[in-house]
Structure 1
Amino acid sequence: MNRALILGGTQFFGKRLVHKLLENGAKVTIATRGRTHDDFGDGVERLIIDRENKESMIKAFDHKQWDVVYDQSCFSPLEAKSAYEALHGKIRHYIFTSTMAVYEFGRGKTEEDFDPLSYEPSFKERKDYKGISGYQEAKRSAEAYLFQNADVPVAAVRPALVIGIDDYTERFLFHVKKVKNEEPIGIADPGYFYSYTSAEDAAGFLYMAGEKTLTGAYNAAFEKSLSLNDLLLKIGCAVGKKAIVTREIAKENASPYGLSGEWTLNVSKAESAGYSFEELDPYLEKLIEVMKKET
């Protein structure tokens, strides 16, 4: 894997992926809208694209070749289709960053619980996929398009809820702030369990998928899952406050993790491929210690 193209790559675990590729000697190109500053210096080639404009990608990718493309910025199957068609004949491996949201709610989800080869994709613009159900359909349909149509090896990495110190969504930080400030958090069922993964592991597994030319779907998560109750208890112990949970949910107090069901992943397939995930509890403790100083 000497030449890698990343669609996206300037935020969160995408940045870690770029740095990991550079550290291992890859020649890296990032293709973005050019709106987000990065710290890669002269180490990368930069292309300007619009994921919703196929012609911009055809122009940017003209007369170029890569061993692998990491698709980090796809939010509709139309974007997957346009990117693949613009890259046709220019890549040897397509790695798609998907999500555990492709599964129905439940515990211990394995890769076989969603089969993109038998899913009938929809093709709408990203603005037409609204809410969690829209996000779910968009990622399912993008996976389905790629697995059903690509003539190069395809891998779909399905991370759990990704956490880390520089998460631009601030979903985890939301909970730390609320607990520290003794403000109520709106959650319908705090007993629900969820799987999480670190930004470092999300990037690390994506890198390995390219290095080993993995194909098919892979879950990425800590082996251990955690209920929202237990998460809030850990935060409370760290900040010396007790979390206040309410079932009276409003826009200002609604937990970003307060979903209508629970999602946990089985990661035995990824581990069998040779990846070792970090341990959840030590990672959480360090993350909370950093974040409590930011509030």
Structure 2
Amino acid sequence: MQRICVIGGSRYFGKILVERLLAAGHRVTVINRGSTLPPAGVEHLVADRNDEAALTAALGSRAFDVVVDQVCYTPVQAAIAARAFAGRTRRYVMTSTIEVYDPATAALPAVPQDTPVPEEIVDPAAWQVAMDLPWNDDAYLEAHYAEGKRQAEAVFARAGGFAFASVRSAHVLGGGAQEFTGRLAYYVGRIAAGEGITAHAQALPTVFIHCRELADLLVWATTAGFTGPVNACSDGPLDVHRLVAIIAARAGREPVLRTVAAGERASAFSFDRHYAMSNARAKALGFSFGHSADWLPGAVAETLTSEPSPTVRN
């Protein structure tokens, strides 16, 4: 049994994570702003993580074996958390994103298109941090989401005082109405209605992970001994054409695609740039992934029978 603190953890795979940790017998504390109550048996601390004094006061004299940070988007938030949890935890796990590898958002080393992107392409220990950028401006943060995540990782990697690991999640699907971004619901809705999906003619593959598989990986990361980044994605990269074919087959429709040229705007999972991740490091460390083609039809079925949920982002 470990004492685990989850920052966020009130929706989607964060909620599943908390339930999994409880089921495994851990003592769980959730910190959020109070809008959502955690499950029974979880200690609930109400604080705004952006307010360092309030966060420190809420923590009191508590200490934890592990902190899992589900909602860190900026280096400023990372710096506040690093100070608040200094001396309170031996391990800190941050949920990050595949978008740190997006070559459209940063100058990164080139990787051949047939080579899944390894973690070392973005080294948080070497990434430049700019704390004076307008990270508290919502529009700026939305436009610089990937850079905010890269710099947050960099702050934690240099903080010291605890072992740090980041989990770089692929595009998260599954869970029906709880689906995190609303993107699968968009695809399923249009395809089920016989409407077209815009796609690049030479669309490149990307990677996905089911919400429950990601929750399982985060539980594993709390007790694993690795540090640094690890990619979290199911086996079986998919390009948008294959993705649409799987959805259409499950929905009983014929796929309708409208082709756009490279550089033009297309639907959310159509990419004309390469950054499909490798999950080799997580496998070498002992985690076993499922295959996207195995769980995606079930995720589509969940979405077909669910009410739509608002679009959100992590």
Q: TM-score by structure 1 length?
A: 0.91
87 and 109 in structure 1: CA distance in 2 versus 1, 3 angstrom threshold? same
Matched residue SS, 2:44: strand
Which string of whole-angstrom CA distances, capped at 9 and with x for unpartnered residues, describes residues 213-259 of structure 1? 3211101111210010100011111112223333579xxx9633244
Matched residue SS, 1:287: helix
Question: Which amino acid is the alignment partner of residue 68 of structure 2?
Answer: Y
Structure 1, 128-137 or 261-270: larger mean CA deviation: 128-137
- What is the deviation of 1:167? 1.3
Structure 1, 21-30 or 122-131: larger mean CA deviation: 122-131
Q: Is the 8 A contact 2:203 2:272 kept in 1?
A: no
Aligned to 2:123: 115
Q: Is the 8 A contact 2:74 2:148 kept in 1?
A: yes
Aligned to 2:171: 161
Counterparts of residues 86-165 of structure 1 (less than 5 Å): 86-105=84-103, 107-123=115-131, 124=133, 125-127=135-137, 130=140, 134-165=144-175
Aligned to 2:12: 12
Consecutive unaligned residues in structure 1, runs of 5 or more: none
Q: Is the 8 A contact 1:190 1:258 kept in 2?
A: no
33 and 169 in structure 1: CA distance in 2 versus 1, 3 angstrom threshold? same
Which string of whole-angstrom CA distances, capped at 9 and with x for unpartnered residues, describes residues 100-125 of structure 1? 11114455000111111111112242
Q: Is the 8 A contact 1:129 1:137 kept in 2?
A: no
Counterparts of residues 1-295 of structure 1 (less than 5 Å): 2-38=2-38, 40-41=39-40, 43-105=41-103, 107-123=115-131, 124=133, 125-127=135-137, 130=140, 134-165=144-175, 166-189=178-201, 191-247=203-259, 255-294=267-306
Q: Is the 8 A contact 1:190 1:227 kept in 2?
A: no
Q: Is the 8 A contact 1:128 1:134 kept in 2?
A: no
Q: Is the 8 A contact 1:195 1:221 kept in 2?
A: yes
- What is the deviation of 1:131? 7.0
Name the CA distance, whole Å, in 1 between partners of 2:274 and 2:77: 29
The number of aligned residues is: 290
Matched residue SS, 1:222: coil
Q: Is the 8 A contact 1:16 1:203 kept in 2?
A: yes
Which string of whole-angstrom CA distances, capped at 9 and with x for unpartnered residues, describes residues 243-281 of structure 1? 3333579xxx96332445233111111011111011211
How much identity, in percent, do the aligned residues show? 29
Q: Is the 8 A contact 2:141 2:148 kept in 1?
A: no
Name the CA distance, whole Å, in 2 between partners of 1:27 and 1:131: 33
Question: Which amino acid is the alignment partner of residue 86 of structure 2?
Answer: H
Q: Is the 8 A contact 1:129 1:138 kept in 2?
A: no
9 and 120 in structure 1: CA distance in 2 versus 1, 3 angstrom threshold? same
Aligned to 2:107: none
Name the CA distance, whole Å, in 1 between partners of 2:266 and 2:30: 35
Consecutive unaligned residues in structure 2, runs of 5 or more: 104-112, 308-314
212 and 73 in structure 1: CA distance in 2 versus 1, 3 angstrom threshold? same
Which string of whole-angstrom CA distances, capped at 9 and with x for unpartnered residues, describes residues 11-51 of structure 1? 1111111111111111000001111344x12x100011112
Aligned to 2:312: none
Name the CA distance, whole Å, in 1 between partners of 2:12 and 2:145: 19
Matched residue SS, 1:109: coil
